């Protein structure tokens, strides 16, 4: 009944849920009695089911040639949204919508392994808990030969050093406030680097540096010159942001860093080449697509005022349904990739998730596994998704399969 409730974006009232139980399972219960079932115990049970599902492997790797030096490639980001005022005591807001009546918000930390499709972390916290705090708190879960991809919100030199101590790897953009030093511990001049690269007509460069004068974390610094129009756009955006925060003019150091895409990694060049860095980091944007789907397709950020435990139960169930649908998506993608030899053809996760949300009855049949129609239902879902659900390039930008092909081809070289 709960899965049915969250499968439709239209809000299901207690009366509709009671009606569903009666018509589908012959269970008679009043809406008052049903409402009383939403307790702390119910929340704990549903959360435990979600955790159990997360521990299952959703798919195998796309290709054995995909960065074989790393056991896992962990991509993580967070999304925040407002919640009912009944959660104010437990989930504090980070500010949020000034027009919202609620002062409560939630942050969901979401991490998955790019190589397997497995969700490795799905943690709900208060909206006022920042990503850097999570970075430190979750560092112990990193395993040997993992490759960690994060955006700058998670950037922390001590955490990066901890990854290195644990024999894990990272690929990150360089935080604008973090200095890097050469082997003699002299501060790197990005102005001089830009001048020399321009004179040499060099578009990218790699140097060995230390991250932080005290930390002395050895990393590879990868510099990529950006076109003038990109540089000018960055300056406009940073100037606007600086004025909005009352910080005045940009420093020369900030301006010259805008001339580059700056990446740091502790992976050896034989494990991650300079040509693989940028397309690999771009794959991190796949998680942004996931969040977009959560909100636009599954409406995870919409809420009505209801009591705390009922809201949390429905939120966990909506996440559970998303994970189950992802399992269907990755499973089919794996099967489609199995016979491919020349190029990787990918399904569109956006198109597939939109369709899967409308196939709840079919998926529920497969989940129960008690019907003789399971195999027939699986074939039906496969047929639907295999038709007009392919991923396409837009605006001449490289899409997911093309980026994978670039990385794999460079691995083979």
Domain ranges of the chain: 38-173+273-413, 176-211+218-264
Mean pLDDT of 333-362: 77
For residue 65, the number of C-alpha atoms closer than 13 Å in the C-beta half-sphere is 14
Q: Which pLDDT does position 99 carry in this prediction? A: 47
Q: Which pLDDT does position 340 carry in this prediction? A: 57
The more confidently predicted of residues 141 and 392 is 141
Local confidence band at 339 (pLDDT 50, 70, 90 cut-offs): low
Local confidence band at 204 (pLDDT 50, 70, 90 cut-offs): very high
Distance separating alpha carbons of residues 91 and 107, to the nearest angstrom: 9
Distance separating alpha carbons of residues 217 and 161, to the nearest angstrom: 6
Please classify residue 184 by burial: count the beta carbons closer than 10 Å to its beta carbon, then call 0-12 exposed, 13-18 middle and 19+ buried.
exposed
92 vs 38, 127, 339, CA distance in Å? 22, 6, 49
150 vs 262, 270, 335, CA distance in Å? 14, 22, 29
The pair phi, psi for residue 222, each rounded to 5°, is -105, 125
Mean pLDDT of 239-266: 88
Of 111-120, 174-183, 337-346, 363-372, the least confident: 337-346
CA nearest 314: which of 104, 112, 124? 124
Q: Which pLDDT does position 274 carry in this prediction? A: 92
Distance separating alpha carbons of residues 201 and 175, to the nearest angstrom: 26
The whole-model pTM stands at 0.80
Of 72-76, 184-188, 200-204, 335-339, the least confident: 335-339
Q: Which pLDDT does position 64 carry in this prediction? A: 53
Mean residue pLDDT across the chain:
85
* Residues 13-66: tens digit of each pLDDT: 899 999 999 998 899 999 999 999 999 999 999 988 888 887 765 544 455 567
The pair phi, psi for residue 156, each rounded to 5°, is -155, 115
């Amino acid at each position: 009944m709960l899965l049915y409730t969250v499968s439709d974006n239209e809000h299901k009232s207690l009366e509709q849920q009671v009606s569903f139980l009666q018509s589908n399972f012959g269970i008679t219960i009043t809406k008052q009695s049903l409402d009383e079932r939403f307790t702390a115990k119910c929340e704990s049970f549903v959360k435990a089911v979600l955790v159990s599902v997360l521990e299952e492997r959703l798919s195998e790797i796309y290709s054995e040639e995909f960065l074989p030096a790393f056991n896992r490639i962990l991509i993580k980001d967070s999304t925040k949204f407002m919640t009912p005022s009944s959660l104010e005591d437990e989930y504090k807001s980070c500010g949020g919508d000034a027009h919202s009546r609620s002062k409560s918000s939630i942050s969901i930390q979401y991490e998955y392994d790019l190589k397997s499709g497995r969700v490795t972390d799905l943690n709900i916290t208060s909206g006022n808990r920042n990503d850097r705090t999570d970075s430190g708190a979750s560092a112990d879960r990193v395993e040997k030969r993992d490759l960690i991809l994060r955006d700058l919100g998670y950037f922390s030199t001590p955490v990066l050093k901890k990854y290195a101590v644990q024999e894990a790897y990272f690929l990150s953009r360089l935080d604008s406030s973090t200095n890097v030093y050469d082997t003699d511990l002299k501060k790197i001049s990005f102005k001089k680097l830009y001048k020399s690269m321009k004179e040499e007509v060099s578009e990218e460069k790699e140097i060995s540096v230390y991250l932080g004068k005290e930390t002395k974390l050895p990393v590879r610094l990868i510099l990529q010159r950006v076109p003038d129009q990109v540089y000018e756009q960055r300056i406009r955006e940073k100037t606007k942001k600086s004025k909005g925060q009352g910080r005045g003019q940009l420093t020369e150091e900030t301006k010259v860093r805008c001339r580059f895409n700056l990446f740091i990694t502790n992976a050896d060049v034989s494990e991650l080449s300079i040509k693989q860095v940028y397309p690999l980091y771009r794959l991190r944007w796949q998680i942004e697509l996931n969040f977009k789907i959560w909100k636009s397709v599954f409406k995870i950020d919409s809420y009505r005022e209801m009591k705390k435990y009922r809201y949390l139960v429905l939120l966990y169930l909506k996440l559970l349904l998303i994970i189950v649908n992802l399992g269907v998506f990755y499973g089919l993608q794996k099967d489609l990739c199995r016979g491919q030899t020349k190029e990787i053809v990918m399904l569109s996760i956006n198109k597939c998730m939109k369709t899967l949300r409308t196939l709840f009855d079919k998926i529920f049949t497969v989940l129960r596994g008690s019907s003789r129609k399971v195999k027939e239902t699986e074939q039906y879902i496969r047929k639907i998704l295999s038709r007009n659900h392919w991923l396409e390039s837009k605006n001449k930008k490289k899409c997911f399969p093309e980026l994978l092909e670039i990385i794999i081809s460079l691995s083979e070289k």
